[in-house]
Structure 1
Amino acid sequence: MESRRKRKSSQIFKWVCYTLLMLLCTVLQTMPGLFQLGAAKPLYLLPLALAVSVFEGEFAGAIFGAVCGLMWDYTAGRTVGMLALELMILSFAVSAVVQLYLKDTAQNFLLIAAGCAVLVLVCDWLFFYYMPGYSGAWNRFLWFVLPSAVLSIPVSLPIYWAARKISIEFKIDNGVV
């Protein structure tokens, strides 16, 4: 049985590791030209928020998703809050769906991450390109939204494994022998 102090320090260290992973994903996502295909780049913060929500539960996942969304909003130079709200809702929903209906496998996570990437990118395209009536909105959809979602799929797997490793490494024993 672990002491309370040891459990608390273990949980703090776990969230420090998640935060460092978030900073790494932020750097990778904002680095110009890294894994870029035309105008499309993979998303790193979205799969991280989803992976943490899968392993840490609805509440912690939603809070971490909101923080990842705020980081994404800030580094993209956008209006703060839209991506934070989207990632918070998606993180909560993905955590609940995985706990209730899906098996926690890498294949299921890749499908969920791809679907969420399409959803977030389509909402972004809809609000910032299509609804304002820009003439090249459909080109933006075909050459940025869809390729960015596809490029995010292979990136999601190492992020899932890293979040899984952190979660397993700092799992609370709860006194079970």
Structure 2
Amino acid sequence: MTSRTKRNLRLTAKWALYLVILLVALTGQTTPGFLTIGQVRPIFILPVCLAVAVYEGEYAGAFFGAVGGLLWDYAAGRVAGLLALGLMAVCFAAAILVQLYLRTNAMNFILVSGCACLLITGVDFLFYYLMPGYAGAAQRYFGVVLPMTVFTAALSPLALAAVRGVWRRMNPED
């Protein structure tokens, strides 16, 4: 095969593997009782999209974040677009932040993932719990949203390792 054909096949395989990782994350996120502590379940889609954004750059990461956000919107039964736009913006910002200021390691990724999760779940909480005026909103925020952020951040190096493995395998050193 020619060099161009090999490169195109490698690129297609890389993005297909990223999509498989995203679908596995979606499955883990929507499986009842999977890694649940009380009412708290981690978010798996967010760290996968952030890891792809960190390794692939801001524009590809933003597009992948939008795709992951649409899947998350669909799985959560939310209005299509809120999580997609939020995830797109967060992935874009995280990719730029890591390119300019941070090294790509597990501790920095935990920090970025925790901040992104706090932002996304905070906006979701604002629009779906606080603004409609549900009773016990503060209890839900401190009892579910904040522990979910910590749980997601703690498990985020798994997503980083999976995406790093695909990225290293599909981007050979020239």
What TM-score comes out, normalization by structure 2 length?
0.96
Q: Map 1:6-155 onto structure 2 (within 5 A).
A: 6-155=6-155
Count of matched residue pairs:
173
Q: Tell me the distance in 2 between the aligned counterparts of 1:94 and 1:32.
A: 30
1:172: how far off? 5.5
Q: Give how far 1:85 is off.
A: 0.2
Q: What CA deviation, in whole Å up to 9, does each residue of 1:48-88 have, x standing for no partner?
A: 00000000001110000000000000011110000000000
Identity %: 43
TM-score (ref. length: structure 1):
0.94
**Alpha-carbon displacement from aligned partner over 1:127-147 (angstroms, at most 9, x marks no partner):** 111112111111110111011
Q: Residue 14 of structure 1: CA displacement?
A: 0.3
Q: Which amino acid aligns with 1:41?
A: R
Shift of 1:154: 2.5
Q: Which amino acid aligns with 1:25?
A: A
Give 1:104's aligned amino acid: T
What is the RMSD computed on CA atoms of the aligned residues? 1.1
Unaligned runs of 5+ in 2: none
Q: Which runs of 4+ in 1 moved over 4 A?
A: none
For residue 31 of structure 1, what is the amino acid of its counterpart? T
